[in-house]
Each structure stands twice: as C-alpha cells, then as structure tokens.
C-alpha cells in the first residue's frame, strides 16, 4: 500500500516545543511566529468537514512543535472526533517522547499509533535532540517507552521510531536496530537529513547558509545491511526513500491528493513541511485552504489543488522514463520545493539512491503494516 494511501486529517497543534533539536526542519520559521496554537472551534469544524466528505476516520497530531505541549487541546480534539466519528476513529501522533506520566497513561487509552522522533542510542540522540534547557532527553523517552511497552494494559498501541539520519548515526544503523529492539520497538522508519525550511528556497538562498553534509552512499550501504539484519530478527526497518516500494503509484504521497493538515494559524496545508499558513513564502503552493472567520467555513484555492494533483511521475519530465517511477511517484514534493523552488524539481542524489535501493532490495514482498509517519 503506497504512502499516498495514508489518508487522514492532521492537526499541527502548536509551535511550542520542549526540545531544541539541532537540525529542526522549521526552527527558524517557528521562532518568527512565537507560540501559535490551533483553536478548538477550527479543529472541530475541520473534523466535521473531513468526516462528511471522506470515508477515512484516521486523525493525526503532528508538529510544528511538540503535540503534548498542548495536551488538553489534543484530548478535546480526540474526544470530539470520537463523538462525531464513532468507534471507527483511529488516532496517530508524532511526538518527541518527552512527556509526563499523566500523558503516558492517556496515550495508552487513546492512541493507536505513536511515532517517536528518536535518533538512536543516547550518545547520538542527546547530541541531536537536547531539551530546551540543554539537558539530555533520551532517558525520559526510554522511561516512557519502557512503561508503555511493559504495562499489561497495553492492547492496541503501536510504538514506532522515526529516526533522522545524520553523519552521527548513518554508520551505526544495525546497532540502532538492536537498541530499539531492546526497548520493544519493532517498527523503525529512517529519514535522511534535509535542509530546514527558511524564507527562501535553498537554491535561491544567497546568505551562504550551511546545509549539513549528508553522505547518501554511506547511508544506503549501511541501510541495506541494517534492513536485512532487522528482517532476520523480525523487525521492520524502512527508509523514507522506500516508502512507496510496497505498491504501485504515480504520486508520491497524500500531498498530491491533497488531504488536510490544519495549521496553528488556521490554514489548510498539504504537507508536513509547511506548518504555518501565513507567509509560507516559497512553500506557499502547499497552502490550499484557509479558515474564514466570517463565514465560519474553510475556503479552498482550486488552482493550488489542481497543481498538486497534477504532480505525478507521468507528468514530471525527469520521471517519465525512470525505471522506478511507479514505486517512487516523483519523490517528496516538500523537500523538492524547499530545495529547488519548484514542484517538478529534482534531488539528483536521492534519485540515484532510490534506484539503487530498488535494484538491491525492492519491491517489498508485503504491504507495510505501518506506513511512514
């Protein structure tokens, strides 16, 4: 089931965050709009509209900050979704895992899928993901995951790791598999580091900002070994580059459907990388709707929806003849637009890596049990 089949409504709850990750993909953007939080009446209206027009009853909570920093709001939204959507409602969160015992207990009773942003063994994780006070965060995450995985009350909750790959961990991927396995984590998705979203596309940025070096060949060499090792010991170890290897598709993801991601400032975004609607700069092509306070309705921008829908691997010139076009779909448009400034741009290193991965390990024998976060 390719990644585009992940159909759901997402809530970008708040810009507040209790960590200060060194590579935060929208850290600068968040600082400029200080502490914005989604308002409950907009979230409820979004649920009403989404459930009226779609069969999916999957809801999701995601950045731009840490979702558990607005715990009461998250509880209210889940309660409302279950009230109007019934027993079929399923809930997914992406969290940094740094939360209280109280939140832990609520997650156990209310969440179906929890992805923890977790970069590996403490020596790696604590460098990449310190707390706002500059303290290590891994011990808190370990404690929460161990409790959730060991309590006899655990029934349906799936806890997976979403790992950002950097120069610190690309050579240690099999070790990461063992580490997560010991914590009871059976599903791991890895994502190569990509440049932060700023006010201009990377290609047009004249400020000389440094984009962290990422050795894609080393990542792939070590990924393939870890993927095989994980498979031998019964774990799932995926790469964002292989997220469509389990089914044919000519689009990359839900951003081309598009499906709603409600931003803290009341806009409708198509993509996890565009978390604030007002002044989205070069990423504005992803903001396809907006809450209208006067009519108390969402209004949509049809020209942007059309452009997103037309972004297929059949339409992009460099994809048309590509041997993996039906297992890639033209790659992540969020990353591509951020780096090249256009929807049909190309990340050459990534294309090379996807083709190599498909040759050496793809396509997947079975549909993925849990699609990439």
Task: In angstroms, give the least distance from the CB of 323 to ligand SF4.
Answer: 7
| Ranges within 94-133 binding ligand SF4 (CB under 6 A) | none
Tell whether residue 253 is a contact of ligand SF4 (CB under 6 A). yes
Determine if 328 is a binding residue for ligand SF4 (CB under 6 A). Answer: yes
**Min dist. Cβ of residue 81 to ligand SF4 (A):** 21
Count of residues in contact with ligand SF4, rule CB under 6 A: 21
- Of the pair 157, 319, the CB lying nearest ligand SF4 is at 319
Q: Does 333 bind ligand SF4 (CB under 6 A)?
A: yes
Tokens for 194, please give them.
């990509």
Structural contact between residues 120 and 166, judged by C-beta atoms closer than 8 angstroms? no
The residue among 157 and 271 lying less far from ligand SF4, judged by its C-beta, is 271
Contacts of 2 (CB under 8 A, 6+ apart): 243, 244, 246, 247, 248, 249, 327, 329
The Cα–Cα gap between 38 and 13 comes to: 5
What is the spatial distance between Cα 98 and Cα 117, in angstroms, rounded to a whole number? 10
Ramachandran region, residue 266 (left: φ > 0; alpha: ψ -120 to 50; beta: rest): left
280 binding ligand SF4? (CB under 6 A):
no
Burial of 316-330, coded b for 16+ CB within 10 Å and e otherwise, reads beebeebebbbbbbb
Burial (Cβ within 10 Å: 0-12, 13-18, ≥19) of residue 80: middle
- Residue 345 binding ligand SF4, by CB under 6 A: no
Question: C-beta of 339: minimal distance to ligand SF4 in Å?
Answer: 12
Of the pair 92, 272, the CB lying nearest ligand SF4 is at 272
- Which single residue is written with the structure tokens 């961990």? 169
Please, which of residues 282-321 interact with ligand SF4 by CB under 6 A? 313, 318-319
**Site for ligand SF4, rule CB under 6 A:** 253-255, 271-273, 313, 318-319, 322, 324-325, 328, 330-334, 351, 354-355
């Amino acid at each position: 089931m390719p990644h585009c089949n992940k159909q759901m409504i997402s809530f970008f709850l708040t810009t507040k965050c209790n960590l200060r990750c060194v590579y935060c993909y929208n850290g600068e953007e968040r600082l400029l709009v200080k502490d914005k939080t989604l308002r409950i009446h907009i979230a409820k209206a979004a649920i009403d509209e989404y459930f009226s027009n779609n069969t999916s009853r999957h809801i999701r909570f995601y950045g731009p900050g840490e979702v558990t920093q607005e715990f009461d709001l998250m509880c209210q939204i889940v309660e409302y979704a279950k009230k109007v959507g019934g027993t079929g409602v399923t809930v997914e969160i992406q969290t940094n895992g740094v939360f209280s015992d109280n939140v832990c207990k609520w997650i156990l009773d209310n969440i179906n899928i929890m992805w923890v942003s977790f970069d590996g063994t403490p020596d790696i994780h604590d460098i990449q993901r310190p707390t706002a006070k500059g303290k290590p965060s891994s011990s808190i995450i370990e404690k929460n995951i161990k409790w959730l995985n060991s309590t006899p009350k655990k029934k349906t909750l799936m806890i997976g790791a979403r790992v950002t790959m950097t120069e610190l961990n690309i050579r240690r991927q099999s070790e990461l598999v063992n580490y997560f396995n010991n914590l009871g984590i059976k599903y791991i998705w890895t994502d190569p580091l990509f440049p932060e979203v700023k006010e201009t596309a990377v290609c047009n940025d004249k400020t000389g900002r440094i984009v962290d070096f990422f050795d894609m060949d080393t990542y792939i060499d070590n990924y393939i070994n870890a993927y095989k090792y994980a498979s031998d010991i019964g774990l799932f170890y995926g790469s964002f580059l292989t997220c469509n290897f389990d089914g044919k598709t000519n689009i990359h993801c839900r951003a081309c459907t598009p499906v709603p991601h409600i931003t803290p400032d009341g806009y409708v975004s198509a993509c996890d990388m565009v978390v604030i609607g007002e002044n989205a700069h070069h990423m504005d092509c992803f903001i396809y709707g907006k809450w209208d306070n006067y009519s108390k309705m969402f209004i949509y921008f049809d020209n942007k929806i059309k452009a997103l829908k037309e972004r297929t691997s059949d339409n992009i010139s460099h994809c048309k003849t590509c041997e993996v076009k039906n297992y890639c779909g033209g790659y992540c448009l969020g990353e591509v637009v951020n780096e090249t400034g256009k929807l049909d741009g190309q990340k050459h290193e990534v294309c090379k890596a996807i083709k190599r991965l498909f040759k050496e390990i793809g396509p997947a024998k079975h549909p993925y049990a849990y699609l990439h976060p």
